[in-house]
Amino acid sequence: MPPRLTGRRLRAAAMALTAASAVIVGVLTGSGTAQAATSQPCDIYAAGGTPCVAAHSTTRALYATYNGALYQVRRASDNTTRDIGLLSAGGYVNAATQDSFCAGTSCVITIIYDQTGRNNRLTQAPPGGFNGPAAGGYDNLADATAAPITVAGHKAYGVFVAPGTGYRNNSTNGIATGDQPEGMYAIFDGTHYNAGCCFDYGNAETNSRDNGNGTMEAIYFGNIKAWGYGTGNGPWVMADLENGLFSGANAGYNANDPTLTHRFLTAIVKGEPNHWSIRAGNAQTGSLSTYYNGARPNVAGYNPMKKEGAIILGIGGDNSNSSAGTFYEGVMTSGYPSEATENSVQANIVAAGYAPGSSGNNLLTPGSSISLRATTACCTTRYINHSGAGVNTAVVDSASSATAKANASWIVRAGLANSSCVSFESKNTAGSYLRHQNYQLYVHANDGSALFASDATFCPQAGKNGQGNSFASSNYSTRYIRHYNNLVYIASNGGSNTFDATGLWADDVSWVVTGSWA
Ligand code: AHR
């Protein structure tokens, strides 16, 4: 069904255009930063007659006047929490607060606040149809430092969802229920995804269970093909409507839904009675494209919809939690937003200036040959080394044999599971990579599986003890490459394994990246 420009929609489109002009004028006149302009995404949705009823971001304010906390972190060293706020009203996150609070330890994101004033915050998802891996069947919380980026040059962190991670609110205020109209957008890392069910942001069941077709309406991003899919190998933006990810009207393939891998991806799903749409674009440049705009799926149970109004992030409606992805910001609206309103929001997003973070180390670029030196006082002459499949730390110096030097040398590759991160291919065993298995590191041949890719992908960040870099596991993002008794693990800061010991954790997970010995 094509969108009709009713009087209400014409008025909304005109208001949204006015709001967009305000942003553009702000940018063109150089009146402060782009973000100092009057309208942020939720101001634009309000001007379009479809106000935000949930607004989540770890990177910036989504209203020009918002000046509260964006999210809360908890650190492992003493289990205390800290709210992370803004540099200025309507502006960017003050990530330095997190950096100083989390220095020398690890932090997880405990709350993503709702900027609308409706208290639709996201917290650790409870068990539902499926249990999560944390205590009591809850899902894991995201490592607060695993997705570093910049926005307009300001440091920020996204919500890195490794499998098992999930956020939810089952008791919301103002979110669409039944067949009520709603819209939503989210900004994701288009290079971080998997084929697990289901990396979603949006409307879901209030009891965390599969309550049947039409009881959800959320944005999905990933390359699972169990339900719908589009062209290419994925990932695709689809709508999770429960018991089905829809790429268009058909239950399976829809030719108009393309594979999208923008590093920063704007993804949109919206729905109203017997009408819904998928839109997406590059969050760093350009405009949105419409990949579906029509009637509800030609499958029973989705018209009328039976939305329940919970909010999920990183999981499926029934707490399926094997998915992966990264979230930076997103909103849900009351009412079906016009394309003009969404186009203005996209202009605002592009002007915001999302950019990849840097590991701060030029050696960590794909193709570099490197060695990884321990920084703990005991061990500063030791490097990560392999002998066949076994991995340990070994002393290497200029007098070491050529074999010993080659065993401690690695070629940096784009992360096999996430090209924003890295993998380490053995310099002397081509096609074999450092990977973890049962939390210990080995060098194994790449078998091409999704599991291997995840096990062999590590996300660099500043060293936890202030030296070099630390490397978070891509699929266990609160675990970092650590040496312990000269063996090498992925370790959390405290936990049930001996190698998770808190003593010397920050030193043991910090590595100086040097040019390779071989
Ligand atoms: O619709 C796809 C998934 O199916 C939902 O997210 C989940 O609740 C169910 O398993």
Q: Is 308 in the pocket of ligand 1 (CB under 6 A)?
A: no
Q: Is 217 in the pocket of ligand 1 (CB under 6 A)?
A: no
Lowest-confidence region among 32-36, 97-101, 124-128, 271-275? 32-36
Q: Is 198 in the pocket of ligand 1 (CB under 6 A)?
A: yes
At 90, which amino acid appears? G
At 375, which amino acid appears? T
In this structure, are residues 306 and 211 in contact, taking their beta carbons and an 8 Å threshold?
yes
Split at pLDDT 50, 70, 90, the class of 30 is very low
**Can you tell me the distance from the alpha carbon of 421 to that of 457, in angstroms, rounded to the nearest whole number?**
7
> Distance between the two ends of the chain, CA-based, in angstroms?
63
Nearest residue to 397 (alpha-carbon basis) of 411, 417, 384, 383: 383
In order, the DSSP letters of 33-75 are: SGGGSS--HHHHHHHTT--EEEEEESSB-SSTT--S--EEEEE
Please compute, for residue 92, the number of CA atoms within 13 A of its CA located in the half-sphere on the CB side: 20
| Beta strand spans in 335-437 (E) | 354-356, 369-374, 382-387, 390-395, 410-414, 422-426, 432-437
Q: Which atom of ligand 1 is nearest to the CA of 243?
A: 1
**Can you tell me the distance from the alpha carbon of 382 to that of 102, in angstroms, rounded to the nearest whole number?**
27
Say whether pLDDT at 31 is over 80.
no
Split at pLDDT 50, 70, 90, the class of 467 is confident
- Using only C-alpha atoms, the chain has a radius of gyration, in whole angstroms, of 23
Q: Which residue has the tokens 């089952």?
A: 170
Q: Which residue has the tokens 């307009």?
A: 152
Query: pLDDT > 90: what percent of the chain?
Result: 87
Q: What pLDDT digit, counting tens, does each position of 93-152 carry?
A: 999 999 999 999 999 999 999 999 999 999 999 999 999 999 999 999 999 999 999 999
Nearest residue to 58 (alpha-carbon basis) of 323, 330, 280: 330
Distance 278 CA to ligand 1 centre (A): 18
Distance 452 CA to ligand 1 centre (A): 25
Say whether pLDDT at 1 is over 80.
no
- Which of 139, 210, 227 to mutate to test ligand 1, by most ligand atoms within 8 A of the CB atom? 210
Q: What pLDDT digit, counting tens, does each position of 9-19 carry?
A: 444 444 444 44
**Can you tell me the distance from the alpha carbon of 407 to that of 421, in angstroms, rounded to the nearest whole number?**
22
Please compute, for residue 81, the number of CA atoms within 13 A of its CA located in the half-sphere on the CB side: 10
Residue 318 appears among annotated catalytic residues: yes
Q: Which atom of ligand 1 is nearest to the CA of 227?
A: 2
- Which of 205, 241, 318 to mutate to test ligand 1, by most ligand atoms within 8 A of the CB atom? 318
Q: Is 213 in the pocket of ligand 1 (CB under 6 A)?
A: no
Say whether pLDDT at 401 is over 90.
yes
Q: Is 391 in the pocket of ligand 1 (CB under 6 A)?
A: no
H/E element holding 23?
A: helix 7-28
Task: Locate 125 and state its tokens.
Answer: 């998802």
Q: Is 318 in the pocket of ligand 1 (CB under 6 A)?
A: yes
Q: What pLDDT digit, counting tens, does each position of 231-266 carry?
A: 999 999 999 999 999 999 999 999 999 999 999 999
Lowest-confidence region among 48-52, 400-404, 465-469? 465-469
**Can you tell me the distance from the alpha carbon of 500 to that of 226, in angstroms, rounded to the nearest whole number?**
37
pLDDT the model gives residue 23:
40
C-alpha distances (whole Å) from 368 to each of 21, 22, 455, 462 are 45, 45, 21, 18
Distance 39 CA to ligand 1 centre (A): 35
365-371 mean pLDDT: 92
**Can you tell me the distance from the alpha carbon of 324 to that of 163, in angstroms, rounded to the nearest whole number?**
5
Q: Ligand 1, atom 4: nearest CA belongs to which residue? A: 243
Distance 244 CA to ligand 1 centre (A): 6
Distance 174 CA to ligand 1 centre (A): 23
Question: Judging by DSSP bridges, how do beta strands 480-484 and 487-491 pair with one another?
Answer: antiparallel
Nearest residue to 220 (alpha-carbon basis) of 173, 260, 178: 260
Task: Locate 139 and state its tokens.
Answer: 């899902």
- Which of 168, 205, 240, 306 to mutate to test ligand 1, by most ligand atoms within 8 A of the CB atom? 240
pLDDT the model gives residue 359:
74
Based on DSSP, count helices (H) and strands (E) in the chain, helices before strands.
Answer: 7, 32
Catalytic residue among 189, 318, 342, 455, which? 318
In three-state secondary structure terms, 517 is: coil
pLDDT the model gives residue 165:
97
Q: Which atom of ligand 1 is nearest to the CA of 200?
A: 6
In this structure, are residues 509 and 375 in contact, taking their beta carbons and an 8 Å threshold?
no
Which residues in 353-367 are b (16+ Cβ under 10 Å) and which e?
A: bbeebebebebbeee
Q: Which atom of ligand 1 is nearest to the CA of 244?
A: 1
**Can you tell me the distance from the alpha carbon of 159 to that of 10, in angstroms, rounded to the nearest whole number?**
36
Say whether pLDDT at 456 is over 60.
yes
Angle at CA of residue 196, ends 194 and 198, nearest 5°? 100
Distance 324 CA to ligand 1 centre (A): 15
**Residue 124, by phi and psi: left (phi above 0), alpha (psi -120 to 50) or beta?**
beta
Which residues in 38-51 are b (16+ Cβ under 10 Å) and which e?
A: ebbbbbbbbbbbbb
Q: Ligand 1, atom 9: nearest CA belongs to which residue? A: 243
Say whether pLDDT at 194 is over 70.
yes
Q: Which residues pair with residue 391 across a beta bridge?
A: 386
- Which of 220, 245, 305, 320 to mutate to test ligand 1, by most ligand atoms within 8 A of the CB atom? 320
In this structure, are residues 409 and 516 in contact, taking their beta carbons and an 8 Å threshold?
yes
Distance 344 CA to ligand 1 centre (A): 31
205-226 mean pLDDT: 98
In three-state secondary structure terms, 219 is: strand
Distance 317 CA to ligand 1 centre (A): 5
What is the DSSP code (8-state) at residue 297? P
pLDDT the model gives residue 425:
97
261-281 mean pLDDT: 97
pLDDT the model gives residue 21:
41
Q: Which atom of ligand 1 is nearest to the CA of 218?
A: 6
In this structure, are residues 56 and 27 in contact, taking their beta carbons and an 8 Å threshold?
no
Nearest residue to 236 (alpha-carbon basis) of 291, 181, 286, 186: 291
Split at pLDDT 50, 70, 90, the class of 3 is very low
Distance 201 CA to ligand 1 centre (A): 12
Residue 507 appears among annotated catalytic residues: no
pLDDT the model gives residue 420:
85
pLDDT the model gives residue 310:
99
> To the nearest whole number, what is the mean pLDDT of the chain?
92
Q: Is 240 in the pocket of ligand 1 (CB under 6 A)?
A: yes
